[in-house]
Each structure stands twice: as C-alpha cells, then as structure tokens.
Amino acid sequence: MSLLKHGFRRPFTALTAALAAATLSLVSGGASAPALADTPGAPGAAARAAPARAIQGATGPNVPALEKALRGLPDKDTTAALVRVGGNGSWHGSAGVRDLPSHRKALENARFRAGSTTKTVTAALVLQLAAEGRIDLDGTVQRYLPGLLTGAFQPLTVRQLLTFTSGLQPGATLGPENGEGYENRFKTLTPEAVVAASVAKGPYRGPGEGPGKKQRYDNIDYTVLGLLIEKVTGDSYAHQAAVRIFRPTGMRHTSFPVGPDPRIHGPHNRGYQKLADGRLVDATEWNMSDRRAAGDMISTTADLEKFLVALFRGKIVPQPLLDREMFTVPHIKGATMSAGLQRYDAGHGKIIWLKTGARPGYNTMLAATRDLSRTLVYSVNAVDAKGEQMNPVAERITRAAFALPAQ
C-alpha cells in the first residue's frame, strides 16, 4: 500500500497509509496526492540539485538517504523539491528545475502555495483567542456567527470545527483542479459563498451523524473558522495571522494573496498540473481566495520550519492549551486529526505530528516528533498534487527524514 495522502478512507497499516493521510480527507471527500512510480530524470538532472547543507550529530539526519530521495529530478511526477530537516542535526537541500522551458536550477528559498498547512496557522489563531478568553472552544457557531446556520443544524462548537467533527457538508467549488477548476482558475469564489453552499445542503444526516460523532477532513470547517476569527477580532484573517504569528515568529516571507490576486510574489518555482485530458499545464497563477483560512497561505520551507518549532515549543499557543487541543485526538472511532495537526504512530514508540497541503503544482508537509528531535518541512512541485496517491518523491523524503523503513 502506498502513502494515501489525506487518508482516512483506508486503514492505516503502515507509514505509507498515514503520512499521506494528512493531505487528503478523512471519512469523506477531499484532496490527495498521487502515488506514482519512481522515474529516472533526464540526463544530467542530478547536476541540477543544489548543494545540500548538513550539520550532523550521532543521531542526525541520514544525509545519503535524503540525497537519494531527491535524485533524478525533474521526472514525470515532480519538477522540483525543497527540503529542510531539523532537530538533532540539520540538513536542507533542493533539486529539480525552476521551470520546465528553461530548466534553470530550482530556487531553494522559493515561495510556494502551502495549501492546507494553513489550517495549522488557523488552529493556532483560534487557540490564541481562546487563551485570551475571546473564544470559548465549547461555544457554538450559532453564538459567534448568528444567522450563519439554519435551524436544520444542531448546536456545533468551535472545538468541533477545529477537529473536523462538525458534521458540515463540503461547500461550493469551481470544479476539479485537473479539469473545470483549471479553466476557472481566475474566477473568484468567496469563503462566504463556499459556506452558504454548505449550509444550503444541510448537515450530514443518518444514523451516527451529528456534531462530534464522526471525523471528516474537509476545508469547510476551517473556512467557517476564518469567518469566526474575523467576527471576533473585527479584523481580517490575513492581518491577524500576520500580527499574531508571522511577525513574532520571524516568518518574513509568508503571506496571503490580496483578494483574488492569482500570483505568487517573490522568488518561486513554477507549479504544473496534469489535466484529465493528459495535458501538462502551468498552474502557478491561480486565484485561491475561496480557500483563505483553509489553504491560501504562501510561504517558504525556512518560514514553515520557524513556525513548526515555535508552535511545538509553546511560543505561539500556551503549552497547556497546546497539549490539550493540538496534541490530543478526539475520542472518535478512526480519528487521527487534532486541532490543526494529524497524529501518526510510526511504531516503536515514535509518534509523528504533521500537516500536509496540496494546491495545483505544490505539495507541502510540516512534521515533527513532539520533542522536536526530528522536524521536516518540504515543498514538492508535483504535477498531480491533489491526486489519489502520495507523490513518490514526497514519500521518499518523509521516510528518509524520519528513518522509516522502505516500503
């Protein structure tokens, strides 16, 4: 079995089943990453890998394995990869190309669409507001956003939104990224319209349904949380993320697009999407404004590493609240998601907490052991970033970083 990217639709029997799981959906629907076979790159591709930098100790990163994971780029699945490994020792490197027409070397400091790793930032913002007494995690959406939900909905709490247990159905989209969505990539779909479409469907119905009963990974919960943050603070979500997290943590190259701006500003590697009709298209420019608090962030591997370390050290969310909400999974059958993170048991006492993201042309992961003895951040330019299986380069990177056995 290969690493199912957002998983939850199949049982976790090995790392291959779970580490991908963070990028796709839990019980129903969502985006995933492709599990494609390794393919040698074009002649001379290895020469395009940037010189890796490593600081190793006795328990430091397995540098040969990490270098091997990046070998042969670009290939048919991946055009570039950027990796940072930290904890006990550190290593960072890159491979592949900036763009396919020129085949210039990939930029290691490139900005990229960080996808659903945005949700970890959103969860941290909500927990900060909870620590300040401005949000009650047991308070309801009906209390904080009166009129948003109809009478068809039972009371559902902020905590249930954080843990994907709200029972809300997915909202509106502009179509699959490998088809209609690509044609509509410059159109605007607001978060408000996304939520309105979900509300119009009503909640999930049937035996065992209802708030707090099942865990389903979907963007809708965090889209609502974005609206809640704005209502409680009287400020934009993007500005709250900047002043509360990005600036204090030194994430100088992380931001959100302004409105429907489809561009990635600053240095970046181009992202490509394979369409259902077989064409490979440039997907770098794409209006992601409907994702906002669920997946609209643009960042770098260095910035996400800063965020990951500061978060786990209790510098962003107070430690007791962090442990209770971000490092605790709800007691629901099959649940693996906490507030903004996913728990993966790698065996032999090794637990990895992670979040992945997928936007057309870009796969992202941030992951670490709880004690930060090993951290990983990557951005992989996958040509089927939201496909059903995990990108093979991403899987190799993850296995090498956490010393997990080969499949």
Interval 198-224: pLDDT, tens: 999 999 999 999 999 999 999 999 999
116 annotated active-site: yes
Task: With CA atoms as reference, report the closest residue to 270 among 17, 98, 94.
Answer: 98
Task: With CA atoms as reference, report the closest residue to 100 among 365, 389, 361.
Answer: 361
Report whether pLDDT(47) > 90. no
pTM, rounded to two decimals: 0.90
Q: Which residue has the tokens 């969505």?
A: 181
pLDDT mean across residues, the chain? 89
- H or E stretch covering 355: strand 350-359
Ranking 21-35, 75-89, 289-303 by mean pLDDT, the lowest is: 21-35
Taking the C-alpha atoms of residue 102 and residue 100, their distance in angstroms, rounded to an integer, is 6
Mean of the pLDDT values across residues 269-278? 98
DSSP state at residue 51: P
Peptide bond into 74 cis (omega under 30): yes
Residue in 32, 94, 116, 289 annotated catalytic:
116
Report the 10 Å Cβ neighbour count for 133: 7
* 377 bridge partner residues: 84, 366
| pLDDT computed for residue 51 by the predictor | 54
Tokens standing for 387? 């496909």
Tokens standing for 4? 């199912």
pLDDT, tens digit, for every residue of 84-138? 999 999 999 999 999 999 999 999 999 999 999 999 999 999 999 999 999 999 9
Taking the C-alpha atoms of residue 23 and residue 31, their distance in angstroms, rounded to an integer, is 7
Residues 6 or more apart in contact with residue 196 via CB below 8 angstroms: 171, 172
Report whether pLDDT(49) > 70. no
Classify the C-alpha dihedral 155-161-167-173 as positive or negative: positive
Report whether pLDDT(252) > 90. yes
Report whether pLDDT(378) > 50. yes
The three-class DSSP label of residue 212 is: coil
